[in-house]
Each structure stands twice: as structure tokens, then as C-alpha cells.
Chains A and B, each alone.
Chain A
Amino acid sequence: MTQFFQYIVVGLANGGVYATLALALVLIHRATGIVNFAQGEMGMFCTFIAWALITHHGVPYWTAFFLTLLIAFVGGAATYKVVIQPLSRTGELTVVMATIALLIILNGLAGWIWSPEVKFLRSPLFAPGDYFDIGGVIVNKQDLGVIGISLVCVAIVFVFFRFTRLGLQMRASAVGPATSRLLGIRVAMMLSIGWGLAAVLSAVSGMMAASRLELDPNFMLIILTYAFAAAVLGGIDSPVGSVVGAFIIGIGISLLSGYASSFLGTELQLPLALAVLMLVLIVRPAGLFGHVVVRRV
């Protein structure tokens, strides 16, 4: 039984890393209706900025952390203005392709500026061996921190959209841009802010991931895969859904690797998880928390 709980704990910790990026994907999709494939790379790039601030310029961790978030916000909003908005008239697939181009550019740029060698971003809070032992189940304090931060993020996003005026304006801009303009909402600015916030979330995701994985230009690519799956599983427009989806995927894969690895082998864990995901989507095509659009004729 301890084994079972251990797998759950490991899965939750992994899920926490995917959750924040999944949240960013949901934010972008709610704002502009597309999946931003460059989301992971934006997070990676910001993490490199944080690393450079700390390592090359001696900035203390938390200062660098918040400075990076600021840079992320500006960068995200600028990306929307410069790249996405001009293309948004031309069709969804063109915009998606533009995000793919951004992915390629950011990936190469990070290697160019800081070299592709593996680096280390130290976590500020806990030493490596800091953990609780709860009845034989090891719960690492750092992992708890990661889970905690993702829960805080989703709470902030939820409250922001539900209870603040700005959040309401953003939701309106996404759902009915023409009407919103008539009501005096500056839609383009709302969308830029949406992209900025999403970039902030991906920066948080990147910095958390860097404390558990190793920092190199490719490290967020696999996280993006899981985050994409989590966001879709939860319902691509639901922030809460994406975080729940992330934890489900994290736990699911952990259980698979723990119990089924002997006959499944390591190769089939991801395919199996994705197959299960597809089954879930077939049963609930809009994801767990998504809304099915019913069109009456």
C-alpha cells in the first residue's frame, strides 16, 4: 500500500510541473482560440534569462525570479502584438504555424546566446535531501513546493477571471470581440495582456521544471507534450480542468511505470497514457471540464 501512495506522490509532483504550463496553454486558447506551441519554449527562454541573471550577474534568486516574470509578461504581450495579431486575420492554421516558427526561433536563440550545454538552476527553498517520511512514503519538500505553487497559480487565475473586472473584460474579448469593442473594451490590449500572463505562467513552469530536470534548450519540449495533453484532457478552456488534467496524467504515468513496467516495458507507458487519454476524449469530446457546444439547426 505504501508503494501505491508513493506512486501517487511522485505522480502529483510530476503533475505539478505540467500544471502551470497547461494553465498557460488554456489561457492562450481562451484568449485567442489557438494552441501556442511555443509556450514551452517561452518558458524555457525565460528560465535561461533567470539563470543568466543569477549566474552571470549575481542577482539574488527571488529578485531574479520576479524580474524574469516581468520580462516574461512584456515578452508575451509583445509576441502577441508583433507576431500573432497581424496574422490573426489569415486563418487559424497560419497562426499555429507561426507559433511553431517561434518555437524553432526561441529554441535556437537560447542555444545561441547561452550555449546548449547543460546547466543548473538552483532551487531557492530546499536542500536536495529535504523530505518528510510519512509512514514509509517519501514526500520531498521541493515537490510539495512545486505542487503548492501550481495550486496557487490556478487559484490566482481562477479568481482573476471570475472576480476581477479585468478578467471579465478579457473573457468578453475572447468570446465576443465585436461586441466587446462596442462596449468600449480594448480587445487587442486584452489579448496582449492574456498572452503576457500566459508567458508569466510558462516562466514559472520553466523555473520549477529546471529545479527538477536539467536546464538545456530542449528541456521544456517533453513538458509541453504533457501539458498539451493535460490541457486538452481537462477541457481546453478550463483552467481548473487543466490543472486537474495535469495531476491525473502525472499520477497515471507514475502508476503505469510502477505497476506495469515489467510487461509493458518503458516504451509503451507514454503511448498507453495517450491512448487512455484519447478514450476519455471520445467519451467526453470536450474534455473533463469542458463545455460541449451544442448546435441546433
Chain B
Amino acid sequence: MQPFGANRILWRVLALAAVPLLVVFLPKAFNDYFNYRLAFVGIYFIAIVGLNVLTGYNGQISLGHGAFMAIGAYTTAILNVNYGVGVYWTIPIAGILTGAFGFLFGFPALRLSGVYLALATFGLATSIPLVAKRFEGFTGGGQGKTIALPSSPIGGLSTNEWLSYLTWAVAGLMFGLAWFLLRGSLGRAFRAVRDAPIAAVSSGVSLARYKTLAFGIAAAYAGVAGALLAIAIAFVNPDTFPVSLSILLLTGAVVGGLGSLEGMLFGAVFIQFAPGWADHLSKHLHYNEATVQSTVFYGLILLAVLFLMPTGAAGLFHQLGSALKRLREWLYSRADSRATA
């Protein structure tokens, strides 16, 4: 029989190694701008990995992830514009600051669950842009802050390439960190809190500690993603982080498959490219792109994805994998029985 355990890890590593290759070589088939789109895929990927930790692994629903991205982005903007901190240094700072904020938010959130938590996080998503608008002296108010346009410090790399590689390098790091954190006792504790809180408490798993920690981690990831977003766009203001961003991130996490970190790759690709697919569908059916028809098609595409892949892309791959495995076993058993005959 095949040593499936070792093989699985090998295939996973191979599959993940494909990502940097795609990031570097896929744009060569199109144009330089495609790098910029990939940078956004990377940014969304980091954000929804964090969301996955909170909602997929820890079972706490969050409709406010965009608010954490906003905090990260504003941290970068304020540190850079007001205090002259180099933008790239602000990335870890944004992560830590936003993580701390998320951790603190986790405390009052302890008492809430399900729809009540959903409302609280929705309230966060609604409030953060308004708060940013209020404290104008600090945040630039409605006008926001303009950061210097990004430029590649490495000769031979275009700005778009630099942004893409930077984002994916950070994404790789964050992904590895999440994988490492989740495979050990932390991951088990998170899942215990999600699936059987009472049993968890009886086993000595502190609900408070792990639930707030999950919020902190998720927020930190969103903060890093927000910082990268600020660098890529070179502008932040309240309109940049509407409630629809939080909904978009949740969409990405669900489409990717909650509970699967690799699935988030597909989630990120979906939320970055699906509106474009909708535009093209719209054009193909002889409507203008960039109109209400395109919005309808996007909603229909999303609905179709939910019907076809209710457990997300990761779920689909698992099912395909199991189906293929069963096929392989059946083939082997046929071979075996023929051999012994």
C-alpha cells in the first residue's frame, strides 16, 4: 500500500511551491499590470487567512474584518505621513497594533456569539470609517491621507512586480506562521472552542484566552493586509473601507473553504477576479460592462459557487481527492484480486 501520510505532505508542499512560480511567471504571459492584480490577491489572501483563523478554526463569526484592515492601513498612513516612518517598517507595526486592538475587542466579544457577535462586528465595520472621519487632525478626515507612490527599490523589477513579490513574500511568511500555530496545541484548542466549548472548558481550555487570542491573531493578519493595501494604493480614507469590504472578505473565506488555509488561495483569487468575470459575462450578453447588469451577474456567479461548492474550494478538492482515492483503491483491489486468482 502507498504510504499516504508521507505522500500527502509531499503533494501539499509541491502544490504550495507552485504558488511562487505562478506569481513570478503567470504575469509574463499577460502584462505588467497583472502583477498588480496578483498583489491584491496576496493582500486579500493574508486578510482571509486571518479571518479563517477566527471564523473557520475558532467558530467566531466576524462581519468586521474590513475594519481591522482599515486600522492597519491608517497605521501605515499615519506613521508614514505624520511621523516619517518608512512604509515597509510600518507593516509589522500595523500588524502588532491591529492585533492588540483585535485582542482587546475580543474581551467584550466573549459574551457574544452567533448573531449577536455578527452584529457587534458589523457595528465595528460601520463605525471605524466614521471614527476615522471624525478625528480629522490625525487621520485626514474624509479627505484621507496620501502616501508616496510605491516604487521598486530593486533595479530590474517594475513597481507592480515589486508590490506583488513583496506581498506574496509577506503572505508566505504569514501563511507559514498560521500553519505552524494551528497545527499544534493552539489549533486544537481553537477547534475545541469551536466544536465543543463545554467539553473544552472541562478539559481546562480557557475559553476567554483562546477566543480573544483568535481575535487578536485575525486582526493582526488583517492589519498587515491593510498596511500592504495602503502601500499599494498610496491613499487611505474612510470610503476605502466600506462595510462591503468586510462582506467581501467573508465571501472570500467561505468560497475558499472555512477551516482550510490553502483554500484561502482560491478565495482570494475569487474575490479579486470574480467581478471581472461578471463584467465579461455582461459584455458577452451584449450589455455594457460596468453597469448594474454586471452586479447581477456577480451575485449569480457567487450563488452558483455556493451551490456547486458549499464547503468552499477546499471542500471541493477534498471531495475530488477522496473520489480519486476511492477510484485508485478500487483499481488496486481489482489488480490484487486478479493477481491472486
Q: Is A in direct contact with B (CB under 8 Å) within the complex?
A: yes
**Contacts A94-B310, A107-B295, A108-B299 given; does A281 touch B127 at CB 8 Å:** no
Set of chain B residues within 8 Å of A295, measured between Cβ atoms: 198
Binds A, one of B12-20, B26-34, B162-170, B247-255: B247-255
Set of chain A residues within 8 Å of B126, measured between Cβ atoms: 225, 270-271, 274
A87 to B254, CA, bound (A): 13
Q: Find out whether the CB atom of A94 lies under 8 angstroms from the CB atom of B108.
A: no
Binds B, one of A60-68, A109-117, A163-171, A173-181: A109-117
Set of chain B residues within 8 Å of A89, measured between Cβ atoms: 310
Interface size class, chain A? 35 or more
Among A111, A236, A297, the residue within 8 A (CB) of B295 is A111
B123 an interface residue at 8 Å Cβ cutoff? yes
Q: Find out whether the CB atom of B112 lies under 8 angstroms from the CB atom of A112.
A: no
Set of chain B residues within 8 Å of A86, measured between Cβ atoms: 307
Shortest beta-carbon distance from A58 to chain B in Å: 26
Interface size class, chain B? 35 or more
Shortest beta-carbon distance from A281 to chain B in Å: 6
Q: Find out whether the CB atom of A274 lies under 8 angstroms from the CB atom of B127.
A: yes
Q: Find out whether the CB atom of A265 lies under 8 angstroms from the CB atom of B120.
A: no
Set of chain B residues within 8 Å of A103, measured between Cβ atoms: 299
Residues 271-295 of chain A, each 1 if its beta carbon lies under 8 Å from chain B, else 0: 1001101110110011100000001
Set of chain A residues within 8 Å of B130, measured between Cβ atoms: 267-268, 270-271
Q: Looking at chain B's contact residues, is the secondary structure mostly helix, strand, loop, or mixed?
A: helix
Set of chain B residues within 8 Å of A270, measured between Cβ atoms: 126-127, 130
Shortest beta-carbon distance from A126 to chain B in Å: 33
Residues 94-114 of chain B, each 1 if its beta carbon lies under 8 Å from chain A, else 0: 000000000000001001110
A172 an interface residue at 8 Å Cβ cutoff? no
Q: Find out whether the CB atom of A285 lies under 8 angstroms from the CB atom of B116.
A: yes
A155 an interface residue at 8 Å Cβ cutoff? no
**Contacts A91-B311, A271-B126 given; does A108 touch B292 at CB 8 Å:** yes
Nearest A residue to B298 via CB reads A104
Residues 88-123 of chain A, each 1 if its beta carbon lies under 8 Å from chain B, else 0: 011101100110111111011101100010000000
Nearest A residue to B131 via CB reads A271
Q: Find out whether the CB atom of A228 lies under 8 angstroms from the CB atom of B247.
A: no
B80 an interface residue at 8 Å Cβ cutoff? no
Among A93, A108, A281, the residue within 8 A (CB) of B61 is A93
Q: Find out whether the CB atom of B307 lies under 8 angstroms from the CB atom of A297.
A: no
A297 to B293, CA, bound (A): 53
B119 an interface residue at 8 Å Cβ cutoff? yes
Q: Find out whether the CB atom of B198 lies under 8 angstroms from the CB atom of A105.
A: no
B58 an interface residue at 8 Å Cβ cutoff? no
B134 an interface residue at 8 Å Cβ cutoff? yes
A228 to B243, CA, bound (A): 14
Set of chain B residues within 8 Å of A236, measured between Cβ atoms: 115-116
Set of chain A residues within 8 Å of B69, measured between Cβ atoms: none
Q: Find out whether the CB atom of A277 lies under 8 angstroms from the CB atom of B310.
A: no
Set of chain B residues within 8 Å of A112, measured between Cβ atoms: 291-293, 296
A35 an interface residue at 8 Å Cβ cutoff? yes
Residues 71-92 of chain A, each 1 if its beta carbon lies under 8 Å from chain B, else 0: 0000000000001001101110
Shortest beta-carbon distance from B53 to chain A in Å: 15
Q: Find out whether the CB atom of A83 lies under 8 angstroms from the CB atom of B133.
A: no
Q: Find out whether the CB atom of A268 lies under 8 angstroms from the CB atom of B131.
A: yes
**Contacts A29-B115, A265-B134 given; does A271 touch B127 at CB 8 Å:** yes
Q: Find out whether the CB atom of B296 lies under 8 angstroms from the CB atom of A108.
A: yes
A86 to B120, CA, bound (A): 29
Set of chain A residues within 8 Å of B87, measured between Cβ atoms: none
Set of chain B residues within 8 Å of A90, measured between Cβ atoms: 310-311
The contact sample of 29 A-B pairs, CB cut-off 8 A, is: A86-B307, A87-B310, A89-B310, A93-B61, A93-B254, A93-B258, A97-B251, A98-B303, A100-B250, A101-B299, A102-B303, A105-B300, A108-B293, A111-B292, A112-B292, A112-B293, A112-B296, A229-B123, A232-B115, A267-B130, A267-B131, A268-B134, A271-B130, A277-B119, A277-B123, A281-B112, A281-B120, A285-B111, A287-B116
- Top 6 nearest A-B pairs by Cβ distance? A108-B295, A105-B299, A90-B310, A104-B299, A271-B127, A111-B292
